[in-house]
A = this chain, B = another copy of it.
C-alpha cells in the first residue's frame, strides 16, 4: 500500500469536522476512529435498531459506514477548500455482520485530481475475534468549488 502525502496539513481536523456534520453517522452511533493520510476507520457498535430481519447488522448500515470510511479516506488527501461526494460503490457482503461492533476501514487505492478510487473492508468483532464481513470499492469525486457544508439559504 503506498504512503500518501496530504496537501492539507489539517486534514484530520477537516475530516473530523465533516464527519460531525453527518446527521446519519450520529443517528447510527458511528464513531470516527483512525484518521491517517489515505486511511479512515469508522466503528459502529451493535444496537437492535441497526439490524435486518435475522438480527445481524443491516447491509445498509454496513454500507453506510463503509461508504463514509471510503469517502473520508479520499478526503484526507484533498485540499482544504474542497469537498467529497460518492460517485458509486460496490460492496460484497461476504459473511453475516454479527457481533458487538463493526469496523469499516477505507483506504485510497488510487488518488486523482478529479476521481479518487478507494477500497474498504468491514470486519465484525465478536467474542474477541475479527471476521471479515464486507469488502468493496468506491469512486469518489472531488468538488473543488464546493465547501463541505450545507449551502446557506
Residue positions of A touching B, CB distance < 8 A: 18-19, 21-28, 47-55, 57-61, 63-68, 71, 83, 85-96, 109-110, 112, 114-115, 117, 119, 132, 135-137, 139, 141, 146, 148-151
Is the Cβ of A88 less than 8 Å from the Cβ of B91? yes
Q: Name the one of B95, B141, B149 contacting A53, with C-beta atoms under 8 angstroms.
A: B149
The answer to whether A139 and B59 touch (CB under 8 A), given A22-B52, A50-B23, A110-B95, is no
This chain's copy number in the assembly: 4
List 18 additional contacts besides A27-B49, A59-B67, A88-B93; criterion CB under 8 Å: A21-B53, A22-B51, A23-B52, A23-B58, A24-B52, A58-B64, A60-B61, A60-B65, A60-B67, A87-B92, A87-B115, A88-B92, A90-B91, A92-B137, A110-B135, A114-B141, A115-B141, A117-B135
